[in-house]
Amino acid sequence: MRPRAVARVPSSAILMIVGAVACFATTDTIVKWLAARQPIPLLVWARWGTQVLAMLIWLAPSMGVRMVHTRQLRMQLIRGVLLTAASLFFMAGLAYMPLANATALSYLTPTLVIVLAVRFLGERLTRPRIAFVVAGLVGMLMIVQPGADLFQGASLLILCAAACSAAYQVSTRMLAAEDPRVTLFYPALVGVGIMTLVWPWFGSRVDVTWIDVVLMVAIGLVGTAGHFFLILAFQRAPASGLTPFTYVHLVFATMLGWLVFGDLPDALTFSGMALIAGSGLLLTWRERRRALTVAAEPTAID
């Protein structure tokens, strides 16, 4: 039996995935800017609070109580906790790390997804996937450079964020039959609830200017737009075809980190970023070829 022709990825889907990662790089830049003078829990609360409000305005008139109707409430709540933890860890680490370095470390998430998918979803750990995991770990060491100042705390926070994000992605794949709008709404709702409870422990008096308020609202709106673009992109093209374009995120993060904060990664860090991105692209290409010739097994990097 001859392999099927490779499906063409629509240009609209490519534009949407690039737009999504551009939104995420922009929100990370704003977060890093605000983190110098605002508490991280407040920024997390603003991020998810704005998304909850935006989705209520957008969806409540047509969906009503169906926005919170789910057959897997426990898993939805677990996803919300995982995503909230990932946001807290990433924003806290971002406050002390260069934007490009933090973004590159966050791309260890696919590596961790493979490990978790083998353990909890029964997926096969093939040789290419093993090589990808090893390459990701080596790239991580090149970026954090154990013994250097960057490795003190902030890198560990980003790695914790990547672990939570990987668990979040695996749990999301367990909810494939759920309405994607509900699946998008629950994590934001849980995040607001958790941060509302956590906030009193960090004090209630903060010096927030109108510019800060506008930027915090922008975090939520731009982040929500990014997730919306992501959903639209994956509705139009397969994950294996779109994944390579997500690595444009590293380019955006490097450019914004240099333009806004004057941070430019050193040669070793650039090499680590290239190793993580290159191995991810190679695995994506191989998984896509395999999916075209054999009965598809869910890939571990969606």
Query: What tens digit of pLDDT does each residue of 169-183 get?
Result: 788 777 877 888 888
Query: What tens digit of pLDDT does each residue of 103-119 get?
Result: 988 888 777 777 777 77
Band the pLDDT of 232: cuts 50, 70, 90. confident
**What stretch of H or E contains 221?**
helix 210-236
DSSP state of 256: H
Mean pLDDT of the chain: 82
> What mean pLDDT is predicted for residues 271-295?
71
Give the pLDDT of residue 247.
83
R_g (Cα) of the chain, nearest Å: 19
Give the pLDDT of residue 166.
85
Which of these, 177, 74, 166, lies nearest to 113 by C-alpha position? Answer: 166
Band the pLDDT of 203: cuts 50, 70, 90. low
Give the pLDDT of residue 301.
36
- Given a contact cutoff of 8 angstroms between Cβ atoms, the answer to whether 90 and 198 are in contact is no
Give the pLDDT of residue 299.
38
Which of these, 179, 154, 5, 174, lies nearest to 74 by C-alpha position? Answer: 174
Return d(Cα 45, Cα 17) in angstroms, integer. Answer: 26
Q: Look up residue 32 and give its two tokens.
A: 């890093």
Query: Averaging pLDDT over each range in 54-68, 106-120, 167-181, 203-217, which range is the top one?
Result: 54-68
Return d(Cα 105, Cα 293) in angstroms, integer. Answer: 33
Kindly list the distances between the CA atom of residue 151 and the CA atoms of 98, 105, 160, 199, 257, in Å, as whole numbers in the listed order.
Answer: 12, 12, 13, 28, 19
Q: 64 — alpha (psi -120 to 50), left (phi > 0) or beta?
A: left
Return d(Cα 225, Cα 223) in angstroms, integer. Answer: 5
Q: Look up residue 275 and give its two tokens.
A: 């190793």
Query: Averaging pLDDT over each range in 45-49, 136-140, 245-249, which range is the top one?
Result: 45-49
What is the residue extent of each domain of the chain? 11-293
Q: Is residue 156 predicted with pLDDT exceeding 70?
A: yes
- Given a contact cutoff of 8 angstroms between Cβ atoms, the answer to whether 44 and 84 are in contact is yes
Q: Look up residue 207 and give its two tokens.
A: 């010096």
